[in-house]
Structure 1
Amino acid sequence: MRPRLPLNALRAFESSARHLSFTRAALELNVTQAAVSQQVRSLEDRLGATLFKRLPRGLAITDEGRALLPVLTDAFGRIENVLKQFEGGHFHEVLTVGVVGTFAVGWLMPRLKRFREQHPFVELRLLTNNNLVDLAAEGLDVAIRFGDGVWPATHNVLLLDAPLNVLCTPRIAKRLAVPSDLAREILLRSYRADEWDKWFEAAGLEPWPVNGPVFDSSRLMVEAAVQSAGIALAPPRMFVRELQTGLLACPFDTEVKTGSYWLTWLKSRRMSPAMQVFRNWILDEAGNEAAYRGGDDS
């Protein structure tokens, strides 16, 4: 069995190959030039291969050296990145979360301080989206999505139901005595074309054509409603702050469920400690909210 190669010799070669100089490598590694040269010579002897051509002015890397260099550079880089995550004797793990913008602002953001206090050694990186997400391509550890939870490539755990209802300014709400009064108003639409039809049916109305502006984000659509641009159909539980401060009103009790929020991660991905911590935390938060409200909103 081939003996293990010494780490110092590998480090000496990698640094020398990047600088094409034993002298510069010695400065980087804080050793003498002779020590670097000796380490590289020892590595060549063990491998039975010449890694450098010694020139009057510097070094020229051989084909064998070129084959070895990228592997070592990647390995040392990964080791360095992991070591950087240690601080104060604790391991800091980065967790990249993709999240629907409406959920991020309306539900997750008010709770992030609590997560940080409970799990200070998990560094969250949040990337918002409009529900179009590719976990593998985007380098996401987990994603929070809206829909029916049927995504075959991922594990999908229900977080919250989010039924839709009418949201508008209090001034507009005063002229809405019954649902049919909506026929005289500008109704804002999401990219899901059938949402208003489903709400009309739940309210006992015959659907009619809705011609208001279309938005690719519920957050943006509701902001338009706050600015009196029309009436939105969105999940009230994602806009609690606006409702509590009087920026918005919810004039009717009728709700319609078109989807829920789900925590998802790739089936091909083994859960890291940070992923497990985040999963447990967010499920506890969602469960606590459901208990406070007296159950699910379905």
Structure 2
Amino acid sequence: MKVKKQEKSAGSLRRLPPFSALRAFEATGRRGNLIHAAEELYVTHGAISKQVKALEEALGVTLTRRAGRGIELTSKGRWLIPYLTKAFDDIDAALRSVSSEAFEGDMVIACMPGLTNAWLIPRLPSFMDQYPNVSITVLPTTQFNNYDADIEIRYGRPEWPNRNITMLRQLNVFPVCSPRLMNGTHPVRRIDDLFKHTLIDEPGGSHWREFFVSQGKDPSKVTRTLRFQDFTHCITAAREGVGVAMGDDLTMESDLTAGRLIRPLLAQISRQSLAYYLLTAPDQPLTAAMRAFIDWLTIEIQRKDRN
């Protein structure tokens, strides 16, 4: 009797490259750097490079190419990265959901008000859904000395004493304004047009001064300024069309996507010496809930072009 051969259903056999190679390439593409990927995965720079090469050989395509002393993604590499990142995020979320009951307790987080309002609050529900037994208190870092926070998120240079410090993300900084301002009597088409507007900044005006110097312009030509101690007030004023503020590619994501603010110019500066950092006390043991939050925060804050 002849047995009819059973057809394979779609997806019944997955011919996937080694998991380690996929993970190495995804980390490299997401972090944009072999060294940072190696630090994230706790392996050597050479090991990451070898795994990426193995993935290219397995797929028969070129995913990366040399760019100076580093590497950059090819068009196929850029196309593949979002799919891998989503797949790893889904695996991570599923595993966390399975074991979420083991994570419980209270946690105090100190975060800069601007980042809390514009970025952290919209994303906290995803963490709380994964860890329903974890309670969080968020305090402003401006009052950190008055509270005992478990985890701090700060912006600046890594010069805080008696803290374990981990860099979360560097920023690109650029002018932002209300769309209404661009439809007014003095639309911003070039750098010099900025001098016709009220320039909004924090006390000291360092953001605008640094920007103009980077563009070869004289900061002393600024005639009107409005300064607030709180960064959130700067952005609120910009939304209301009061003037032009300096924003960044992290806290401005939602405003730019929704059209509340726009970038009138392509010019920007990269803050190599300034970044967002995660701080913990060196003598404080990390609870399971704290580790879960740190892992979640690190992934979320390094993920670009997502709201």
TM-score for the superposition, normalised by structure 1: 0.62
Report whether the alignment pairs 1:283 with 2:282: no
Report whether the alignment pairs 1:228 with 2:241: yes
Per-residue CA shift, 1:197-247, capped at 9, x if unaligned?
110022221222544121112211010111111111121421222222221
Distance in 2 between residues matched to 1:172 and 1:245, nearest whole Å = 16
Report whether the alignment pairs 1:194 with 2:194: no
The residue aligned with 2:147 is 138
How far apart are 1:273 and its partner, in Å? Answer: 2.0
Runs of 4 or more, structure 1, over 4 Å off, are none
The residue aligned with 1:238 is 251
Per-residue CA shift, 1:56-109, capped at 9, x if unaligned?
xxxxxxxxxxxxxxxxxxxxxxxxxxxxxxxxx867300000100111122111
How far apart are 1:126 and its partner, in Å? Answer: 0.8
The residue aligned with 1:268 is 283
The 5 A counterparts of 1:17-36 are: none
Distance in 1 between residues matched to 2:267 and 2:283, nearest whole Å = 41
Distance in 2 between residues matched to 1:90 and 1:262, nearest whole Å = 27
Q: Any idea what SS the aligned residue of 2:219 has?
A: coil
Report whether the alignment pairs 1:156 with 2:165: yes
Per-residue CA shift, 1:161-213, capped at 9, x if unaligned?
22221011113235111011111111112124321111002222122254412
Distance in 2 between residues matched to 1:151 and 1:243, nearest whole Å = 32
Distance in 2 between residues matched to 1:165 and 1:90, nearest whole Å = 43
Contact 1:218 1:234 in 2 (8 A): no
The residue aligned with 1:83 is none
Contact 1:173 1:250 in 2 (8 A): no
How far apart are 1:133 and its partner, in Å? Answer: 2.9
The residue aligned with 2:15 is none
Structure 1 runs not aligned, ≥5 long: 1-88, 294-298
The 5 A counterparts of 1:54-65 are: none
Over 3 Å counting, the alpha-carbon distance change for 1:244 and 1:91 in structure 2 is closer
Distance in 1 between residues matched to 2:279 and 2:269, nearest whole Å = 24
Q: Any idea what SS the aligned residue of 1:204 has?
A: coil
Report whether the alignment pairs 1:166 with 2:175: yes
The letter of the residue matching 2:176 is L
Q: Any idea what SS the aligned residue of 2:137 has?
A: strand
Over 3 Å counting, the alpha-carbon distance change for 1:91 and 1:172 in structure 2 is closer
Distance in 2 between residues matched to 1:214 and 1:269, nearest whole Å = 38
Distance in 2 between residues matched to 1:158 and 1:185, nearest whole Å = 35
Distance in 2 between residues matched to 1:90 and 1:193, nearest whole Å = 47
Percent identity for Structure 1 against Structure 2: 23
The letter of the residue matching 2:144 is V
Higher Cα Rg: structure 1 or 2? 1
TM-score for the superposition, normalised by structure 2: 0.60
Q: Any idea what SS the aligned residue of 1:199 has?
A: helix
Distance in 2 between residues matched to 1:122 and 1:192, nearest whole Å = 40
76, 86, 92: which one pairs with 2:104? 92
The residue aligned with 1:118 is 130
Count of aligned residue pairs for this structure pair: 200
Contact 2:114 2:232 in 1 (8 A): yes
What RMSD, in angstroms, separates the aligned Cα atoms of the two structures? 2.1
Contact 2:176 2:238 in 1 (8 A): yes
